[in-house]
Every structure is written in structure tokens, then in C-alpha cells.
């Protein structure tokens, strides 16, 4: 067994175990931490496949932004863990049924894929003499440039729509007048008050 195979089994085992702990942990903070561990191991699997750009994106975007944001949100929320555990047994039959169906589907997929595996070597993730990021950029910005631009336009419209929907207009908005502030004199800005001794303001 080569070093690559050992690394694959290590990353895969830790990723499966940590993904199971994401849904099995009663504490949401621990669930987010196990989710970050799952992302790191998935990034290691991407590196073994030769897709180092996807591994970096997974670590930077998901671990560095999304998972940490989830962690901060969970830590700031006042979660009643006793209330969360009350409805666990109520949904246990439905969850067990869905999990059993997914397990059967995975077994069918693994059985079908194992019968189709031959002795051919795995193709390289990128062409010769080209990095993964360069190959991905060429495909993304040449073959799928219109789809990429359409996805960017959809995200822009969604962002503007979210801002418009959440914007609450104020009846008395506080606006800053730069010209009026810079044109103020000392007499307008400073007021001298003569207070008698023993009296308050």
C-alpha cells in the first residue's frame, strides 16, 4: 500500500467520522467544529486528486468564511439545549427511515460502481504542463463564460433584492451636511454660560 493510499484512507475515514459527528453532536458549537474538520479532510482528498485549487477554495471560502460565521452565530445565540433534545425522539422514526433509504441507495451505487471498475489508470485532473488553477480558469472563462456571467448577474440581482427587501425607510433620517459643518464659525459652535456659584447647569 502506497503513501497516497494511506493518505486517502486517513482523510476519508476522518471525513466520514467527523461528518457523522456533525449530526450526532448535541452541542451546536461542536457540530460546527466537526464541520470544519470535515472541510479540511475533504480539501485533503481534493489535493490527492490533483485539484489543489478546489482544495484551497474549500478551505478559504467554507472554512474561513462560512463555517466560522456559523460558529459565531451559534455562539451568539441563546440556545436552550434541553428544549432541543425534547423533540429528538419524536422525529426518530422519520429520521431512521430516511437514513435507511439513503444507506440502501449508497449500497446500490457502490455495488454498481464496483462492477464497472477496470484496471485502467485514473486520468490526470489537468493537462500536461498546466496547473489546476490555469486549466480551470481556461475552461471557466472560455467554454462557460456566458454561463459564468449569467450566474454573476443572478447573484447581483439577488443581492440587490435582499437589500431592497430589508431596507426600512425612516421618517426622520439623519443626514450629514458637510458644507454646513465646515462653514460653522466659533460663535455658532461654542456657547458661553455664566453659572453662579452653588448652582447647577
Domain ranges of the chain: 1-80, 126-162
Cβ 74 vs Cβ 29: under 8 Å: yes
* Tally of CB atoms within 10 A around 168: 4
Distance CA 158, CA 25 (A): 34
Judge whether 32 and 71 are in contact, CB under 8 Å: yes
Cα–Cα separations (whole angstroms), residue 130 to 58, 85, 144? 21, 52, 19
What pLDDT, on a 0 to 100 scale, did the predictor assign at position 152? 93
Please give the grid coordinates belonging to residue 99.
437514513
Using an 8 Å Cβ cutoff, are 16 and 35 in contact?
no
197: Cβ contacts below 8 Å, ≥ 6 apart:
none
Given a contact cutoff of 8 angstroms between Cβ atoms, the answer to whether 45 and 5 are in contact is: no
Treating both helix axes as pointing N-terminal to C-terminal, what angle do 68-76 and 28-48 enclose, rounded to 10 degrees?
A: 180
pLDDT value, residue 36:
86
What is the model's pLDDT at position 201? 58
Quick one: fold of 1-80? 1.20.120
Sheet strands (E) in 73-182? none
Whole-number pLDDT of residue 86: 63
pLDDT along the chain (201 residues), means of 10: 82 90 82 86 87 84 79 70 64 82 81 58 66 82 90 94 82 80 84 78 58
Amino acid at each position: 500500500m502506497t503513501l497516497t493510499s494511506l493518505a486517502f484512507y486517513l482523510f476519508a475515514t476522518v471525513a466520514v467520522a467527523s461528518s457523522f459527528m456533525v449530526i450526532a453532536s448535541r452541542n451546536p458549537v461542536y457540530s460546527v467544529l466537526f464541520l470544519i474538520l470535515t472541510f479540511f479532510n475533504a480539501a485533503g482528498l481534493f489535493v490527492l486528486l490533483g485539484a489543489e485549487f478546489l482544495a484551497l477554495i474549500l478551505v478559504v471560502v467554507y472554512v474561513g468564511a462560512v463555517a466560522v460565521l456559523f460558529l459565531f452565530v451559534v455562539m451568539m445565540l441563546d440556545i436552550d439545549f434541553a428544549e432541543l433534545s425534547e423533540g429528538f425522539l419524536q422525529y426518530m422514526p422519520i429520521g431512521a427511515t430516511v437514513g435507511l433509504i439513503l444507506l440502501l441507495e449508497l449500497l446500490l451505487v457502490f455495488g454498481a460502481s464496483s462492477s464497472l471498475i477496470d484496471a485502467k489508470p485514473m486520468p490526470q485532473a489537468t493537462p500536461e504542463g498546466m496547473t489546476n488553477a490555469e486549466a480551470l480558469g481556461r475552461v471557466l472563462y472560455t467554454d462557460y463564460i456566458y454561463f459564468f456571467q449569467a450566474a454573476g448577474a443572478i447573484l447581483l440581482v439577488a443581492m440587490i433584492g435582499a437589500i431592497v427587501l430589508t431596507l426600512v425607510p425612516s421618517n426622520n433620517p439623519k443626514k450629514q451636511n458637510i458644507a454646513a459643518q465646515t462653514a460653522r464659525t466659533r460663535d455658532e459652535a461654542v456657547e458661553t454660560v455664566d453659572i453662579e456659584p452653588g448652582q447647577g447647569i
